[in-house]
Amino acid sequence: MVGAFIVAGFVAFFFLAMQVSNLGSLNTGDSYRVIARFDNIGSLKEKSSVTMAGVEVGRVGSIVYEEETFQARVELFIYEQYDQIPEDTFAKILTAGLLGEQYIGLDPGGSEEVLHEGSEILITQSALVLEEVVGQFIFGKAQEGQ
């Protein structure tokens, strides 16, 4: 009886870990694919959230390096119910909390045209890398001291 209880606990813990880490299945059905290119994606991972106004509107699909442009090409799967996102939407990589996981936030533009299957988001902002910010701060303070 105790062994069955322990096994049930491990199974529950496993499913909880899968949900929290976004390692469950990537639901690409009922969604359309959009491409965005970034100079630096930081620690963005496949299956990360894509949000708009704090609401999840999709998931990150594949992430590949493009040798021609020296950028990361990120494939976004936007849920089909969000089919009125303006074409000139701005995509930026954000961090949940101070050291949390990274996700893509979308800020809508004002275009009458909307994103559709195969569209590309042209206006992007790369991830803010904490080590670079700290380095710039320290370097700036060192320059002030001279």
* 40 φ/ψ angles, rounded to the nearest 5 degrees: -150, 120
Q: Check whether 98 has a pLDDT greater than 70.
A: no
How sure is the predictor about 23, in pLDDT bands with cuts at 50, 70 and 90?
low
Share of the chain above pLDDT 70, in %: 85
pLDDT of res. 77: 95
* Between 136 and 40, the higher pLDDT residue: 40
How sure is the predictor about 1, in pLDDT bands with cuts at 50, 70 and 90?
confident
Residue with tokens 């809508």: 108
Structure tokens at 138: 């320290």
Residue range 36-55, pLDDT digits in tens: 999 999 889 998 999 999 99
Residue pair 95/104 in contact by the 8 Å Cβ criterion:
no
Residue range 109-125, pLDDT digits in tens: 999 999 999 999 999 99
Structure tokens at 132: 């670079």
Least confident piece of the model among 26-30, 35-39, 104-108, 111-115 = 26-30
Q: Check whether 130 has a pLDDT greater than 80.
A: no
The one-letter code for the residue type at 43 is S
pLDDT of res. 129: 72
